[in-house]
Amino acid sequence: MSSKQRDRGRILTPDGLSRLQQAIRGWEVEHEVRCTQERIKELTSAVKEGGLDPSTIRKILKAKGGVDPESIRCLFTAFELELAEIDLVPSARLQIQTDPNFVGREGAIADLTALVNRGVKVIVIQARGGVGKTTLARKYLQQEFGSFLEFPIAKETKDIASIESLIEEKLRQLGEEPGREFFVSLDRLKRKLQNERIGILIDNLEPALDSAGKFIEPHRRYVELLRVLADPSVQSVTLITTRERLRESSITVENYILRSLDLTAWEQFFQSRNLSTDMLDFAALHNAYGGNAKAMDIVRSAILEDYAGDVAAYWQANQHDLFIERDLEDLVTQQFDRLQQIDADAYNLLCRMGCYRYQDVPTVPIEGLLCLLWDVPENRQRRVVKSLQDRSLVEFKDGEFWLHPVIRSEAIKLLRVTKEWEKVNRNAAAFLTEYVKKISNIIDALIVFEAYHHYFEIENFDEAGSVIINKRINQFGQNLRLSAILYRLGLFQQLFLATTKVIGALEEKPKSIKLGILYNLLSSMYRVQGRIKEAAECLEKTRDLTSIFLNSKSYKNQEFMELVQAQTISLISLGLCRVDLWELEESVGFFEQAIELARVIDSSQLLGSALSNLAFVKAYLGNQEQAYILVEEA
């Protein structure tokens, strides 16, 4: 043994290291534990003159809780055994992959590794609160470095520590003496990072940023630190976590958008806690919280504590109150509060976006956002949208935007208490109405129909009814009522429910011609369902309304004429239904009403149809003379 070896202790031989790694890989490490003195003693017994005794290592690994890679490092440090930083990476990766608290991030780990392999020195991990930025960063640095330096950023701007004091502290941790001047200390840190491979974490950066994504004036010197960390000559890798995008043009960083956990990851996490995911609504639970990692853990805890592990019962009870857990509400409200303080226009837009439902029409084009920025100059509107994108508060893809349910829940709650509630919905409805010029498919029809929901929300039932009965151009160039287009496209159920709701609301208001048209439409839908009695009741109400307007002599009103024409057609159709049921006496009354209305609007076509059908019924009832007169008139 050389003098150097005697001074430092035995050097771990390549053969011994190989056997150690094999032993660690051969046993699944399920939990991280501290390296106690007793464990160090056990591990020490495995050190032999020729390397390590794998049988002893294997026994230690079988102990309850397993042995984490940091414990192995602790052993070598305590007994002055040399171990390169990279040596235990394979075992650390095994640790991360089997950690039941860290799921669904294999792709993110691979992405970070690829960036580092490309030579990227500083990676900014960006996502909204609770997605798992810090957890990912810590796991990755633990995997690659075992230990790492952390520059903590306070939760509140007023509590942010000066970069000068932090650098002094970190230099001492690295065994270096800080200089008297800031740039001297910074230079010493740079030399240290050039000589050693060190991992660095800067967590929760956004309190140090202004509305433009730059460091606020009291902490501009953080730019100098990042300039050192991004230098190509350093061996360090720095991960920065933030909810807001860093925009310092003098610093070279790689921005990495961390996505929420997918459904498979949620299932894996719940199943590892013996919670069943075999329910139809589990995907809805996952979607409601946008795959948020923090929400996943909070909901899991609530299910275990309050619902005895019954996932379905929890969702059934709380699906209409996504903030039933206060921790979840705080997670979202903090982001809204900060946005309100630093960017009022972006805050207003986020709240206004809550008016969209994101259901039948799941996304909104950027024009649907710009129409909500009536109080922002046109040349700045897109910057406001970009501000929300930079803060991970709005989802976007291929020019389409949407809010995750928890964000929308807070947005609409805040919007409802403002004076803008009515105006926002009016603007959204007007945009949706004009956005589609020709209805060519179901998607187009649903976009136009979405305006109905906005008018209904602000209790403008008259306009909500107009959406249903106003005419639009279909794919064949026909000018038809939206109701007819929806019916032809197979959207009968949505049309039926909307018509029923708006009629119920309008019945409480002063009677209008529009209500009569809607009654007529509803009667047609009842007939399709074979509900002849309900159809007849609707027609009776239509007839009563028509009589009121006939007496008012409003014959030239276009809407009135359309009402009478539609009612005449419905009466003829209903009379034919009675004929099909062979209820001939009952059909007579419908045909006679149709004849009366056809004369009012001077429609020879409808009058001829009603007269012919009535003649047919009279003939079958044995009144040949009246039948002959009717045929002659027809």
Task: Please list the alpha-helical segments (H only) found in 152-292.
Answer: 163-173, 182-195, 222-229, 263-272, 282-288
Distance CA 361, CA 378 (A): 26
Range with lowest mean pLDDT among 5-19, 34-48, 206-220: 5-19
> CB of 458 within 8 A of CB of 493?
no
- In the DSSP assignment, the letter for residue 446 is H
In Å, what is the CA distance from 304 to each residue of 273, 275, 289, 308, 544? 9, 8, 18, 5, 60
Distance CA 507, CA 22 (A): 79
pLDDT higher than threshold 60 for residue 474: yes
150 three-state secondary structure: strand
Across 246-368, the runs of DSSP E, i.e. the strands, are 254-257, 364-365
pLDDT higher than threshold 60 for residue 3: no
Q: Give me the pLDDT at residue 531, please.
A: 87
Smallest Cα–Cα separation from 175: which of 194, 188, 161, 162?
Answer: 188
Bridge partners for 254 per DSSP:
123
pTM over 0.85: no
> Which residues, 6+ apart, have CB-to-CB distance to 267 below 8 Å?
277, 282
Q: Give me the pLDDT at residue 511, please.
A: 77
Across 274-394, the runs of DSSP E, i.e. the strands, are 364-365
**CATH: 1.10.10, 3.40.50, 1.20.58, 1.10.287. Which one for 321-435?**
1.10.10
**CATH: 3.40.50.80, 3.60.150.10, 3.40.50.300, 2.30.42.10. Which one for 106-257?**
3.40.50.300
Q: Give me the pLDDT at residue 154, please.
A: 84
Distance CA 375, CA 418 (A): 15
pLDDT, tens digit (0-9, with 9 covering 90-100), for 509-529: 877 778 888 998 998 899 888
Smallest Cα–Cα separation from 261: which of 136, 141, 354, 361?
Answer: 136
Question: How large is the average pLDDT for residues 51-79?
Answer: 49
Our measurement of the distance from residue 469's CA atom to the centroid of its chain's CA atoms, rounded to an integer in Å, reads: 33
Distance CA 591, CA 588 (A): 5
The most confident of the ranges 33-47, 306-320, 438-452, 598-612 is 438-452
pLDDT, tens digit (0-9, with 9 covering 90-100), for 559-603: 677 777 777 877 887 788 778 778 888 888 888 888 888 888 788
Distance CA 169, CA 181 (A): 14
pLDDT, tens digit (0-9, with 9 covering 90-100), for 92-121: 443 444 577 789 999 999 999 999 999 999
Give the residue, 48 or 3, on which the prediction is more confident: 48
Q: Give me the pLDDT at residue 365, please.
A: 96
Q: State both tokens at 97.
A: 């992959």
The residue assigned the tokens 């960017």 is 343
Residues in the chain: 634
- Domain residue spans of the chain: 3-88, 106-257, 263-320, 321-435
Distance CA 595, CA 610 (A): 6
Q: Give me the pLDDT at residue 50, please.
A: 46
601 three-state secondary structure: coil
> CB of 362 within 8 A of CB of 370?
no
- In the DSSP assignment, the letter for residue 439 is B
The residue assigned the tokens 């055994």 is 81
Bridge partners for 473 per DSSP:
479
pLDDT, tens digit (0-9, with 9 covering 90-100), for 25-57: 433 333 343 344 454 455 555 554 445 554 555
